[in-house]
Amino acid sequence: MTNLRLTEKDPHAPIRYQYAIEQVLYRGKSPYQEFAVVTNPFFGRMLILDGVVQLTEKDEFFYHEMMAHVALHAIESPKRVIVIGGGDGGVVREVLKHPTIEQVHLVDIDPEVTRISREFFPTVSSGLDDPRVIHAPMDGAMFMRQYEGQADAIIVDSTDIIGFATSLFTSDFFDNAKAILGKNGVYITLSESLHFHFEMVRDVQKTMASIFPHVDLYTAPIATYGGNWWCFAVGTNGVDIREPVRKTVENTRYYCEEVHKTAFLPDFLYKRLMDEERTYF
Instruction: Give me the active site residues, please.
Output: 157
Q: How many CB atoms lie within 10 A of CB 222?
A: 21
280: exposed, middle or buried (Cβ count in 10 Å: 0-12, 13-18, 19+)? exposed
CA–CA dist 201, 204 (Å, integer): 5
- Residue 153 forms beta bridges with which residues? 81, 186
Dihedral of CA atoms 25, 15, 166, 125 in degrees, nearest 10, equals: 30
Query: Under a CB-based contact definition with an 8 Å cutoff, are residues 242 and 71 in contact?
Result: no
3-state secondary structure of 44: strand
Task: For residue 67, give the 3-state DSSP assignment.
Answer: helix
Tell me the CB-side half-sphere exposure of residue 247, using CA atoms within 13 A.
5
**Burial (CB count <10 Å: 0-12, 13-18, 19+), residue 115:** middle
